[in-house]
C-alpha cells in the first residue's frame, strides 16, 4: 500500500498562505472618508480585487481538501454495535498450539470436517469451524436470492445509508477491526491500519460520492444512419445481476472481504463470499458487521452471506460446487494461478463470468534522474515489507539504473538490517514486520533464494525463516535483500509473495523497461524520476494493467479499475468499471420524437411483392444513409420517395 498521509506541515503552510493573502489585502486598503465619500486609489482597488479573489479561491480549495465528505449529500447514518470476539480483546491470553512433525497444529486438524484457526504471529488458537457442505452453500445462495428481490428495488439513498453507517462504524472501531485482522493474519497493527482500514474507507467514501453517477443510465450517441439519427435515442441502463459471488484471498482479510461486498450491495446485488480457510475466524466477525449494519438500516441481513470449506478432495466437492453454482451471476476471484484454473473450469459449467486477479511480479523502476535516493528507499521498504511482502501489488523487483544502483544497494542494506520482527497486536513491543500467514511456503522461498545465489546473485541479508524467541510457533521469515538478480533466475520469474527485496541493475532507461517486461505477469508497476516526460514514456512501455508515476500503488487508492494482464489475470474491479461490471448493461433504444417511429416500408412488407423493387429500395436506403456526398444523398432520397409504395 502506498505511503498515504496528511502532513501537518502541509496544512500549516496552506493555512499560512491563506493568512498572508488576507493580511496583504487588509494592509493594502487605503480607504478613508471625505465628507461621507469613500476615496480609493484605482490601482490599489485593482490589486485588492485580485488579491481578494485569490484569497477566496485558496480558502475554497482548503475547504474542499480538508472536508471532502461534507460536499456530498448523504443519507443519515444509523449507529449500531456488534459484540467483539474474546480473542479480539487487547492482551487476550489464548492457549498456544503444539507442534507435530514440524507443522503447527491446534489439535483439531485430524478432523477433516473442521477448519482450525490460529494466530500466525503468536501461535494462539482462535478456534475451529465446521467446513460447509454443498447443501449449506445452496441454502446461503437461496437466502441471498430471496433478500435481493427487495434490495434491487431500493433507491441509491437507501444504499448510501448502508455505506455511511458502515463508514461510521469502521471509523469508530479501527482498533478492534485492526486487531481482528492481525490476529488472523499475523501482520502488524500499522500494516492493518494502512492496508485494511484506509483502503476500505476510501472505497466506501468513493462510492458514496461517485457511485450513483457511475450507475446512472449512460446516454449514447445512437445510430449514425442519416434517416434514423433524428428520431432514435439510445442509452445503457445498469441493472443488478442478482446474486454474485467472490472468492477472496487471505492476505487482507478485512479489505479483500469488504471490497466485493461494498460494490455488489451498492450495485443492487446480493453477495455470497467464500473466504480462505486461513482466515475464517476474522471473516465471520467482519461479515457480522455488514449484516448488523443492514439490519440496523431496516434491510434484510441475508443480503450478505459468508461460506468456507476445506480445499476440494475426492470426497468433498464443496469448493467446486460454489464456483459452478448456477444461481451465481458473476464471480470475482482473488488468488493464485493454480486455484484459478480450478475455479474457471468449474465456473464454465454454469457459464458464469469471472473477474480474475492473480497477483504479480511488480517492477519498481528507479531512473537516472532520481535525485533523493534516501527518500525513495523509504517507499521501496514500505512497498516490499508491508504485511511481510504478502501483497499482490507489492514490490517484487526493484530495477535501478546503473548510475544509482550501487548507492541504492548500500542504502537498503543498512536499512533492512535494522528491521525488527514480532507482534504488536497487544502493543507489547515496537516492531516493523509481522508474521507470514503460514510456514508452508518457507522451503520454496528459501530454495528460490539459494538457487539465485548459485546463479550469481548476492544475498546481503536474511534469506531464511526466523525462529522468534518470544513466539516460537509464529511464522516468521527474515527480511531479505537479494541483489544482482537477472531475468534468467527463477526468483525473477515467479511471484515470491514474501519479505524478499530483489534488486536488478538496468544499464539505461530502455534496459530498465526490458527487465520490467521480462516476467510473465502484468499487474502493476512504478516508475520514478525527475524527468516527467521520461517517466511517462516508461509508463506507456510497461506491460501491466496499472502504473504509478513517482508513487507506489496509488492507482489502487484512486479507485481506478484494477486488474492485470498476462499471468496476472483479466477483468477489472474497482472504480466505475468495477460497479458497472456487477450489473447487467441493458441497451435500450427509444423514439426521441413521439410522432415519429419506425415503420416497415411497403416494398419490404411481407409478403414481398417484388424482390427487384425491394432490393432497389434497400440499396437506395443504404446509400442515402451513409454516403458522404450530398448530391448522391439527394438522389437516393428522391428514389426512395418514388418507390416507397
Q: For 284, list phi and psi in degrees, rounded to 5.
A: -60, -45
Reply yes or no on whether 357 is catalytic: yes
- Whether domain 111-356 has CATH 2.30.30.60: the reply is no
- 363-577 adopts what CATH topology? Aldehyde Dehydrogenase; Chain A, domain 2 (3.40.309)
Q: Which residue has the higher pLDDT, 50 or 163?
A: 163
Please say whether the dihedral angle defined by the alpha carbons of residues 174, 524, 392 and 131, taken in this order, is positive or negative. Answer: positive
Cell numbers standing for residue 118: 490460529
Question: Rounded to an integer, what distance in angstroms lies between the CA atom of residue 68 and that of residue 22?
Answer: 24
Q: For 306, list phi and psi in degrees, rounded to 5.
A: -120, 135
Q: What is the 3-state secondary structure (H, E, C) of 432-482?
A: CECCCCCCCCHHHHHHHHHHHHHCCCEEEECCCEECCCCCCCCCEECCEEE
CB–CB of 148/240 below 8 Å?
yes
Q: For 432, list phi and psi in degrees, rounded to 5.
A: -105, -35
Among 257, 258, 286, 267, CA closest to 148: 267
CB–CB of 421/468 below 8 Å?
yes
CB–CB of 299/151 below 8 Å?
yes
CB–CB of 320/133 below 8 Å?
no
Side-chain half-sphere of 219: how many Cα atoms within 13 Å? Answer: 4
Going by pLDDT thresholds of 50, 70 and 90, the confidence category of residue 123 is very high
Considering just the CA atoms, what is the radius of gyration of the chain in Å? 30
The residue-averaged pLDDT of 337-348 equals: 95
CB–CB of 126/183 below 8 Å?
yes
Q: What's the pLDDT tens digit per position in 424-471?
A: 998 778 999 999 999 999 999 999 999 999 999 999 999 999 999 999
**Lowest-confidence region among 106-120, 294-308, 343-357, 358-372:** 106-120
Q: Strands, DSSP E only, in 395-486?
A: 397-401, 458-461, 465-466, 476-477, 480-483
pLDDT of residue 47: 59
Domain residue ranges in the chain:
8-66, 111-356, 363-577, 599-643
Q: What's the pLDDT tens digit per position in 545-562?
A: 999 999 999 999 999 999
Among 547, 490, 493, 507, CA closest to 523: 547
Q: What's the pLDDT tens digit per position in 267-283?
A: 999 999 999 999 999 99
CB–CB of 145/272 below 8 Å?
no
Q: Strands, DSSP E only, in 78-203?
A: 98-100, 103-105, 114-118, 125-130
Q: Please, what is the average pLDDT of the chain? A: 90
Q: What's the pLDDT tens digit per position in 471-483?
A: 999 999 999 999 9
Question: Rounded to an integer, what distance in angstroms lies between the CA atom of residue 180 and that of residue 84?
Answer: 9
- Name the one residue in this structure whose C-alpha cell is 444461481: 327
Q: What's the pLDDT tens digit per position in 4-53?
A: 333 433 444 444 444 454 444 444 443 333 343 434 445 555 556 667 67
| Residue in 357, 495, 510, 577 annotated catalytic | 357
Contacts of 640 (CB under 8 A, 6+ apart): 617, 620, 621, 624
Cell numbers standing for residue 455: 546463479
Going by pLDDT thresholds of 50, 70 and 90, the confidence category of residue 67 is low
pLDDT of residue 91: 85
Q: What's the pLDDT tens digit per position in 377-412?
A: 999 999 999 999 999 999 999 999 999 999 999 999
Answer whether residue 285 shows pLDDT above 70. yes
Side-chain half-sphere of 67: how many Cα atoms within 13 Å? Answer: 7
Tell me the CA end-to-end span of the chain in Å, nearest whole number.
Answer: 69
CB–CB of 549/527 below 8 Å?
yes
- Name the one residue in this structure whose C-alpha cell is 445509508: 161
Among 265, 513, 255, 506, CA closest to 393: 255
Cell numbers standing for residue 76: 443519515
Question: Rounded to an integer, what distance in angstroms lies between the CA atom of residue 605 and that of residue 613?
Answer: 12
Widest Cα–Cα separation across the chain = 101
Q: What is the chain's percent helix, strand, coil content, to nearest 5?
A: 45, 15, 40
Question: Rounded to an integer, what distance in angstroms lies between the CA atom of residue 237 and that of residue 587?
Answer: 6
Amino acid at each position: 500500500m502506498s505511503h498515504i498521509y496528511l502532513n501537518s506541515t502541509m496544512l500549516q503552510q496552506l493555512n499560512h498562505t491563506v493568512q498572508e493573502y488576507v493580511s496583504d489585502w487588509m494592509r493594502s486598503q487605503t480607504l478613508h472618508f471625505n465628507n461621507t465619500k469613500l476615496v480609493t486609489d484605482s490601482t490599489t482597488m485593482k490589486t485588492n480585487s485580485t488579491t481578494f479573489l485569490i484569497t477566496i479561491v485558496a480558502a475554497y480549495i482548503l475547504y474542499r481538501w480538508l472536508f471532502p465528505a461534507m460536499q456530498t449529500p448523504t443519507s443519515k447514518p444509523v449507529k449500531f454495535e456488534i459484540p467483539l470476539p474474546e480473542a479480539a480483546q487487547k492482551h487476550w491470553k489464548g492457549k498456544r498450539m503444539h507442534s507435530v512433525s514440524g507443522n503447527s497444529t491446534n489439535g483439531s486438524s485430524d478432523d477433516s470436517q473442521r477448519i482450525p484457526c490460529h494466530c500466525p504471529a503468536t501461535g494462539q488458537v482462535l478456534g475451529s469451524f465446521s467446513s460447509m457442505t454443498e447443501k449449506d452453500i445452496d441454502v446461503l445462495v437461496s437466502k441471498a436470492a430471496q433478500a435481493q428481490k427487495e434490495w434491487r428495488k431500493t433507491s441509491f439513498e437507501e444504499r448510501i445509508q448502508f455505506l455511511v453507517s458502515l463508514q461510521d462504524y469502521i471509523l469508530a472501531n479501527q482498533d478492534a477491526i485492526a486487531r481482528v485482522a492481525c490476529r488472523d493474519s499475523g501482520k502488524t497493527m500499522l500494516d492493518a491500519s494502512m492496508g485494511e482500514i484506509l483502503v476500505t474507507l476510501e472505497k466506501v467514501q468513493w462510492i458514496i460520492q461517485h457511485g450513483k453517477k457511475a450507475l446512472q443510465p449512460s446516454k449514447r450517441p445512437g445510430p449514425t444512419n442519416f434517416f434514423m439519427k433524428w428520431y432514435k435515442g439510445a442509452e445503457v441502463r445498469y441493472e443488478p445481476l442478482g446474486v454474485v459471488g467472490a472468492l477472496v484471498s487471505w492476505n487482507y482479510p478485512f479489505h479483500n472481504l469488504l471490497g466485493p461486498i461494498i460494490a455488489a450491495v451498492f450495485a443492487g446485488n446480493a453477495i455470497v463470499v467464500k473466504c480462505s480457510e486461513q482466515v475464517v475466524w476474522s471473516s465471520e466477525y467482519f461479515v457480522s458487521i455488514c449484516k448488523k449494519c443492514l439490519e440496523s438500516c431496516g434491510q434484510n441481513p441475508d443480503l450478505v452471506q459468508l461460506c468456507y470449506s476445506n480445499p476440494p478432495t475426492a470426497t468433498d466437492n464443496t469448493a467446486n460446487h460454489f464456483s459452478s453454482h448456477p444461481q451465481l451471476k458473476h464471480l470475482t476471484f482473488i488468488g493464485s494461478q493454480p486455484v484459478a484454473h480450478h475455479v474457471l473450469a468449474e465456473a464454465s459449467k454454469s457459464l458464469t463470468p469471472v473477474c480474475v486477479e492473480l497477483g504479480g511480479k511488480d517492477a519498481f523502476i528507479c531512473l537516472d534522474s532520481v535525485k533523493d535516493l534516501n527518500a525513495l528507499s523509504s517507499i521501496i521498504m514500505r512497498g516490499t515489507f508491508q504485511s511481510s511482502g504478502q501483497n499482490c501489488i507489492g514490490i517484487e523487483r526493484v530495477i535501478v539504473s546503473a548510475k544509482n544502483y550501487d548507492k541504492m544497494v548500500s542504502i537498503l542494506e543498512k536499512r533492512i538490517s535494522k528491521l525488527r520482527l514480532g507482534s504488536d497486536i497487544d502493543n507489547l513491543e515496537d516492531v516493523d514486520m509481522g508474521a507470514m500467514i503460514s510456514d508452508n511456503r518457507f522451503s520454496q522461498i528459501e530454495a528460490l533464494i539459494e538457487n539465485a545465489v548459485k546463479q550469481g546473485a548476492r544475498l546481503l541479508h536474511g534469506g531464511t525463516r526466523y525462529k522468534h524467541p518470544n513466539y516460537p510457533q509464529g511464522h516468521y521469515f527474515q527480511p531479505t535483500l537479494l541483489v544482482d538478480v537477472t531475468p534468467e533466475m527463477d526468483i525473477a520469474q515467479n511471484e515470491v509473495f514474501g519479505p524478499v527485496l530483489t534488486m536488478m541493475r538496468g544499464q539505461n532507461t530502455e534496459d530498465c523497461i526490458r527487465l520490467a517486461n521480462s516476467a510473465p505477469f502484468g499487474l502493476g508497476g512504478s516508475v520514478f524520476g525527475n524527468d516527467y516526460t521520461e517517466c511517462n514514456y516508461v509508463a506507456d512501455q510497461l506491460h501491466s494493467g496499472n502504473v504509478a508515476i513517482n508513487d507506489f500503488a496509488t492507482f489502487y487508492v484512486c479507485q481506478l479499475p484494477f486488474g492485470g494482464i498476462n499471468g496476472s489475470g483479466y477483468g477489472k474491479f474497482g472504480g466505475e468499471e468495477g460497479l458497472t461490471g456487477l450489473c447487467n448493461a441493458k441497451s435500450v433504444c427509444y423514439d426521441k420524437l413521439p410522432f415519429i417511429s419506425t415503420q416497415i416500408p411497403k416494398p419490404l412488407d411481407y409478403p414481398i411483392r417484388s424482390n427487384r423493387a425491394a432490393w432497389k429500395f434497400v440499396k437506395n436506403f443504404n446509400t442515402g444513409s451513409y454516403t458522404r456526398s450530398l448530391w448522391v444523398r439527394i438522389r437516393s432520397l428522391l428514389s426512395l420517395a418514388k418507390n416507397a409504395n
